[in-house]
Amino acid sequence: MKNNSIIRPQILIEDIKFRGENIPKASLRSIKKALVIFHNLESMAVNIYRFQITKKKSELNELLIASMCNEMTHLQDFQVKLFEYGKKPSILRPAYLFVGIIFGTFSRLFGERSILKTGVWVEAKAVHHYETLLNSIDWDSDTRTMIEKNQQDENEHINRWKNKLKQL
C-alpha cells in the first residue's frame, strides 16, 4: 500500500518574506492568533504520532512515521508563518506537546484499532479547525495556499486511517 504523495514540499529561500504590512490591526491580530492555534495543534499531532509508533516493523508504523513527518512539515509551515508575521510560538505549546504524548501513548497501549480511531478523531478535529479559520480570516494568498494544502493532508490522513480500520 505504498503512496507516492509528497510528504515534505520544497521551500525556496524566495518563499520566505515578512508579512502583515498594510493589514488592519484587528485582521493582523486574528491572523497571528490563528497561526498560534495551528502551530499548537500541529505540535500536538506530531507527538500523538510520535508516541503511537512502536518498534514493530509494520505497515502501520511506516504510515505513522510518514504521518508524523507530514505533521512536522505542517508545524514548520506554521512556525515560519508566525515569524514572517512577527509573532513567536505560544508559551503554552508544552501543554499541547503533553496532550499529544498522552493521546499517543494511551491509544498505542489500547492497540491498533485505538490508534486508528484516535487518528481519525484528531484529524477530523484538525480539518474542522482548518475550515473554520480559513473561512473566518482574510489570508494572504501564499498563506492560504499553504493552509489549504495542510488541510488536504489532514483529509488524506483521515482517509488512510479509515481504510486501515476497514481492513481490521
Residue 114 lies in a domain: yes
Cell 520544497 found at: 10
The whole domain housing 107 covers 24-167
Cell 505540535 found at: 43
Give the predicted TM-score (pTM) of the model: 0.92
Residue 4 lies in a domain: no
- Assess whether pLDDT exceeds 80 at residue 5: no
Residue 38 lies in a domain: yes
Residue 52 lies in a domain: yes
Residue 18 lies in a domain: no
Residue 1 lies in a domain: no
Kindly report the CATH number assigned to the domain that includes residue 95.
1.20.1260.10
User: How far is residue 2 CA from its own chain's centroid?
Assistant: 21
Q: Please, what is the end-to-end C-alpha distance for the chain in angstroms?
A: 15
Q: What percent of the chain has pLDDT over 70?
A: 98
Question: How many domains does one find in the chain?
Answer: 1
List C-alpha distances in Å: 96 to 36, 70, 130.
Answer: 12, 18, 17
Residue 119 lies in a domain: yes
